[in-house]
Amino acid sequence: MRTVFLLFFLSSYFQSLAQEVKTDVFKNDSLLVIKKDAKKGFQNDYILFIPKGTPLNKETFLLVEPNNTGKISDSIEIHKKYAIDLASVSSVGNNVSTMLKIPLLVPVFPRPASQPLVYTHALDRDVILEHSPELKRLDLQLLEMINDAKSILTSLNIKVNPKIFMNGFSASATFTNRFSFIHPETIKALAIGGFNGKLMLPEKKINTVKLNYPIGIQDFTQLFDKKFDADTFKTIPQFIYMGKSDDNDAVQFDDAYNEEERNIINTNLGRQVQERYLKCQEIYKKNKVNAIFKTYEKVGHWTTSDVNLEVIRFFLSQMQAK
C-alpha cells in the first residue's frame, strides 16, 4: 500500500518542500487538503493529490474529478471523507493520476440534506440558480480551485498545461459533462461513464420542444451571461462509456430532474437508460462532437480494471498528442 501524507495548506510547508526537491520527480505520494478561501473565490475546501513520480520542471496535466458522495448529508466532514477517498484510494481518477503521474484535484462540494433537491454533485439547474455562498456557482468555484492548485503546483516545480483533464463517473460524470458545456475552453480532454444514459445536448430543441439547461442550451446565454461556445466544445476529445447492464436511472428522481425535465427526457430521448444512451450518441455524432463512445458488456453501474485501463490509455494518448 502506498504511503499517503495528509497535509494542510501552509505556505511555509510548500516553501520548505520545494527547497528539499533535488530530483527530477516528486518523491512521495502526497495528499493536500486545501482550505476554502473566499478571497480567492472558492467557499469550499478541495483535495490535491500528487502521486509519487510526478515530473518536475516538465509540463504535465492537472486532472480534475468532481466529488460524488452518493448521498445527502449536512455534514461537510462526510463529503470531505468521500472526496479524500476518491482522491487517494480507489477511483478511476486516482488510477489515472497514479499511473500517469499527474496531480489530481477533487473539490469538497457539499450536498446538503437540508436542500435535498439541490443536486450539487451533478451541477443541476437548482445549483446554478442557488445564491448561498457555499453553493453559488460551483462551476466558478471549481475554476478558482484549479487556478489555486496551479499556483501551488508551480511552487513545487510541477508545471501543468493551462488546460485540464477532467474525469467523472455517475453524478460526477454528469457534473463533468455539464461543466464542459459551460467552460469548454478550460478542458484538454475528458472521460465520463455511468451517467444514466443522459448527456447534455448541444441543441436548443428536440421535436420542437425547448431544451433548457441542463437538458440542452436553449437558455444558456440567460443563465451564464455568455454564448455557448459550440466550436470549442465540439473539439474536446471525449471518452464516453456505459456498462450495457447499467440501469441506474437518476432521471426518474426529483433530486436529479424536475417533473417537466423528466417528461421531456422520457418522451424525446427514452425511458430506459440504454435507449437514452443510444439517442444521445446519435445526437452527438450528428453535431460532430469529438467523442469516442464505448459500451462494456456484462458491466453495470460500476467500473472494471478493463474500463480503468482504457480511460488511462485515452488520457495517455492525449498527453502524447500535446
pLDDT band at 172 (very low <50, low <70, confident <90, very high): very high
Domains of the chain: 5-192+231-240+288-320 (3.40.50)
The answer to whether the peptide bond before residue 214 is cis (omega within 30 degrees of 0) is yes
pLDDT score for 23: 64
Cα gap 98→233, rounded to integer Å:
28
CB distance 165 to 189 below 8 Å: yes
Give the tens place of pLDDT for each residue, 83-141: 999 999 878 999 999 999 999 999 999 999 999 999 999 999 999 999 999 999 999 99
Cα gap 87→64, rounded to integer Å:
10
pLDDT band at 321 (very low <50, low <70, confident <90, very high): confident
